[in-house]
């Protein structure tokens, strides 16, 4: 409540790979309204995946208008707005005009999406140089990060590279579009662009050695000269044009944004005020793991340590899986029964994985028992490489134990085996980090692919740690709303906002006894299959 007793609200906007969502929250962390718009994804040969910043901005404005109209009533009651987005590269020319980033020559396709792997060769050349900044990305840079993509643009689309006025991470594009402020978030540029937040600088020698000396010579004007912590109030708030498009008041506070997964971390790891004990696991199209530590911890194959990239004043180690929810979708699509099962799921208003989870849960007495449904069937779901702990974009999936079955039961078995594979990959990350000094007590889950109790229990059983679900139905949206709440002055800082707005709803403890032994055996088999593929 404000001093006058009138309600106050904040809005969180999450731009994922396939959709944009907005949530309206009160200052107790309750989501009062949500709106969603799908966004297009353009794929071409050569691992090219692109999007349109114009389409995304229009979708964002539409969903903000919708949640304001459905619940807030008075736009003046909205005191702050926060954004999170995928770590995708937006390329704009003078005046903010979109520039074509690929062979389509379509200027509206001005975003190289995070999952685009066109820059694998550039990443490998950068890694071969072995510059010291790579210590802060787990020793190897990923083609999903921005400097390999910038190098690809320079080498393959030199005209676009030369004409570019600004290169933005998508979250920073959204805050610029909203406020006119060119400031970048420490979250985006530290995690994906090699900014050294603990030293407050870019390293010019890195850009010179990898072939991007122009950016250093320009004083980094095209990638960010003002770097601020997430939640920092930007500019004068919403510009008149942005406010009109969103149905809000000009001047409404806008906080510096975050990568989508990191917003999920902000919306979860504050439980009980002990972020260093909690690993944030954001389980969506891909997955991301985020571990906060008081001091820097260097873990080979795990990105970071990044200073103040998520929780201000703490160091962050970031791992994850390049395909998680998408890996389950891909896996199920191979099965002969998938098409008919997907039709049944649609008739029930469910996704196919959600129906698989419901059906599997109904077939066992305890959720932990579902591992028995996948007996003899094993999946290493690395369809898009291994992000952590091996940092190997060339890794590929393995499916072992298939027979001639074509029925619905065998589809469920494949689903459970794939879900176990996701959990074993998470276990590898947890155990590797612990070996180097970044141990955790529990996994705090968010993301649409991890919404069911069955998924949460399987993850607890496979990774060997309690999996905690928070009260928030949409932790990623809550995380971005927290940015708006801090920018709007509702809380003094991010830690206090996190502690106030996050709490535990349910904890899923890993099973012991025969179930634990079964998963220990399956984990050994998982690693053997993984090693076999990596040595092929």
pLDDT of amino acid 393? 87
**Residue 73 pLDDT exceeds 80:** no
Mean pLDDT along residues 296-324: 93
**Tell me: the pLDDT tens digits for 243-298?**
999 999 999 999 999 999 899 899 999 887 778 899 999 898 889 999 999 999 99
Percentage of the chain lying above the pLDDT 90 cut:
88
pLDDT band at 2 (very low <50, low <70, confident <90, very high): very low
pLDDT band at 72 (very low <50, low <70, confident <90, very high): low
**Tell me: the pLDDT tens digits for 173-188?**
999 999 999 999 999 9
Return phi, psi of residue 192, to 5°.
Answer: -125, -10
pLDDT of amino acid 5? 63
CA distances from 231 to 20, 31, 288, 384, 398 (A): 20, 19, 21, 32, 42
**Tell me: the pLDDT tens digits for 424-481?**
999 999 999 999 999 999 999 988 899 999 999 999 999 999 999 999 888 899 999 9
pLDDT of amino acid 45? 86
Taking the C-alpha atoms of residue 328 and residue 383, their distance in angstroms, rounded to an integer, is 10
Mean pLDDT along residues 24-53: 94
Return phi, psi of residue 337, to 5°.
Answer: -90, 0
Taking the C-alpha atoms of residue 362 and residue 360, their distance in angstroms, rounded to an integer, is 5
CA distances from 190 to 49, 185, 199, 288, 517 (A): 23, 8, 11, 16, 40
**Residue 69 pLDDT exceeds 70:** yes
pLDDT band at 1 (very low <50, low <70, confident <90, very high): very low
In the chain, the domains with their CATH numbers are 9-258 (3.30.420.40), 259-320+437-508 (3.30.420.40), 325-429+513-534 (1.20.58.2240)
CA atoms within 13 A on the CB side of 415: 28
**Tell me: the pLDDT tens digits for 194-215?**
999 999 999 999 999 999 999 9
Taking the C-alpha atoms of residue 442 and residue 463, their distance in angstroms, rounded to an integer, is 10
Taking the C-alpha atoms of residue 327 and residue 320, their distance in angstroms, rounded to an integer, is 13
pLDDT of amino acid 3? 44
**Residue 4 pLDDT exceeds 70:** no
**Residue 502 pLDDT exceeds 50:** yes
Mean pLDDT along residues 363-391: 96
Mean pLDDT along residues 111-124: 96
pLDDT band at 503 (very low <50, low <70, confident <90, very high): confident
pLDDT of amino acid 535? 85
| DSSP per-residue codes, 422-478 | HHHHHHHHHHHHHHTT---SEEEEESGGG-SHHHHHHHHHHHTS-EEEES-S-HHHH
Range from 4-8, 301-305, 333-337 carrying the lowest mean pLDDT: 4-8
pLDDT of amino acid 271? 83
Structure tokens at 374: 């996948």
| DSSP per-residue codes, 390-402 | S-BTT---EEE--
Mean pLDDT along residues 36-51: 94
Nearest to 110 by CA among 66, 165, 70: 165
For the chain, counts of helices (H) and of strands (E): 18, 22
């Amino acid at each position: 409540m404000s001093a006058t007793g009138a309600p106050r609200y904040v809005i969180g906007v999450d731009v994922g790979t396939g959709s944009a969502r907005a949530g309206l929250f009160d200052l107790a962390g309750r989501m009062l309204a949500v709106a969603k718009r799908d966004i297009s994804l353009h794929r071409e040969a050569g691992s090219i995946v692109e999007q349109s910043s114009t389409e995304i901005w229009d979708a964002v404005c539409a969903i903000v208008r919708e949640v304001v109209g459905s619940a807030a009533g008075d736009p003046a009651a909205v005191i702050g707005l926060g954004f999170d987005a995928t770590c995708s590269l937006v390329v704009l020319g003078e005046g903010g005009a979109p520039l074509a980033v690929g062979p389509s020559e379509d200027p509206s396709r001005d975003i190289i999406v995070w999952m685009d792997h066109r820059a694998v060769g550039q990443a490998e050349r950068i890694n071969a140089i072995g510059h010291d900044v790579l210590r802060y990305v787990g020793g190897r840079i990923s083609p999903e990060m921005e400097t390999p993509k910038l190098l690809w643009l320079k080498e393959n689309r030199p005209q676009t590279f030369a004409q570019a006025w600004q290169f933005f991470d998508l979250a920073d594009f959204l805050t610029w579009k909203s406020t006119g402020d060119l400031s970048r978030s420490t979250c985006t540029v530290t995690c994906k662009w090699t900014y050294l937040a603990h030293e407050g600088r870019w390293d010019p020698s890195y850009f010179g050695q990898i072939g991007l000396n122009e950016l250093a010579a320009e004083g980094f004007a095209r990638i960010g000269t003002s770097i601020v912590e997430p939640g920092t109030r930007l500019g004068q708030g919403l510009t008149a044009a942005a406010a009109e498009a969103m149905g809000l008041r000009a001047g409404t506070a806008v906080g510096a944004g975050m990568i989508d997964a990191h917003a999920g971390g902000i919306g979860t790891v504050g439980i009980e005020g002990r972020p260093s004990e909690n690993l944030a696991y954001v389980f969506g199209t891909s997955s991301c793991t985020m571990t906060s530590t008081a001091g820097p911890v260097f873990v080979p194959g795990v990105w970071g340590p990044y200073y103040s990239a998520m929780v201000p004043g703490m160091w962050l180690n970031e791992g994850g899986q390049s395909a998680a929810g998408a890996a389950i979708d891909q896996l199920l699509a191979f099965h002969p029964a998938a098409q008919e099962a997907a039709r049944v799921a649609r008739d029930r208003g469910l996704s196919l994985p959600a129906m698989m989870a419901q059906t599997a849960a109904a077939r066992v007495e305890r959720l932990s028992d579902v591992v028995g449904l996948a007996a003899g069937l094993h999946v290493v779901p690395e369809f898009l490489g291994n992000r952590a702990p091996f940092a190997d974009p060339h890794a590929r999936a393995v499916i072992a134990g298939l027979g001639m079955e074509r029925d619905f039961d065998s589809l469920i078995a494949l689903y459970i085996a794939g879900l176990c594979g996701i959990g074993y990959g998470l276990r590898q990350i947890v155990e590797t980090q612990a070996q180097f000094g970044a141990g955790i007590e529990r996994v705090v889950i968010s993301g649409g692919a991890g919404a069911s109790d069955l998924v949460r229990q399987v993850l607890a059983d496979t990774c060997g740690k309690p999996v905690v679900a928070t009260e928030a139905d949409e932790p990623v949206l809550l995380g971005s709303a927290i940015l708006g709440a801090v920018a709007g002055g509702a809380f003094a800082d991010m830690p206090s906002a996190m502690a106030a707005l996050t709490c535990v709803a349910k904890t899923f403890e890993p099973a012991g006894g025969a179930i634990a032994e079964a998963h220990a055996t399956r984990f050994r088999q998982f690693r053997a299959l993984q090693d076999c593929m990596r040595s092929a």
